[in-house]
Amino acid sequence: MSPKDESEFLWLDDIRPGMRIALPDTDCAAARVEAYAEMFDAKHPIHVDEAFAKTTKFGTRIAHGPLPMAASLATLGEIFGTALIVMTRVGSWDFYGAVPAGASVPTEAFVIGITRGGGGRTAEVTLEMRLTDASGALLQRGEVGLLLRARPKD
């Protein structure tokens, strides 16, 4: 993936309450699930043992709950680029369904709040993140706060 030009990012000036922001699908590739299990020593068989997972109600291995959450948050840098100063908080995050290992999960965000500061050149933007399955059923939903900057003046 080639680097984006600054003009391709979303800046504070572009953000409006209620706005929908399409995000890249959240990648929960089997290799990521395995790496997560190793990194955090989180080796419950539902995540790492296909034979065991087949005996569960899911019928296959599933991603650890925080993996899709973290992967979806990581995509925000692709959307906001240098407009993103820092993530200020992660609010409540709810899990409604399992994400199969190997899945690529549709992801979107909605602007639910903007709190201005910094002389109008920065603001905390609150997003509601939604991860769904291919049919649109909600898998995870949570809030995140981002400190964004306005587009640089020429």
154 domain-assigned: no
1 domain-assigned: no
Question: How many structural domains does the chain have?
Answer: 1
16 domain-assigned: yes
Rounded CA-CA distance 76/96 in Å is: 22
The number of residues making up the chain comes to 154
pTM: 0.89
Report pLDDT digits (tens) over 10-36.
999 999 999 999 999 999 999 999 999
Distance from the Cα of residue 80 to its chain's centroid: 13
Report pLDDT digits (tens) over 79-129.
999 999 999 999 999 999 999 999 999 999 999 999 998 688 999 999 999
47 domain-assigned: yes
How does residue 8 score in pLDDT terms, banded at 50, 70 and 90? confident
CATH number of the structural domain spanning residue 25: 3.10.129.10
Report pLDDT digits (tens) over 85-99.
999 999 999 999 999
Range of the domain at 21: 6-149
**127 touches 144 (CB < 8 A):** yes
Q: What is the mean pLDDT of the chain?
A: 93
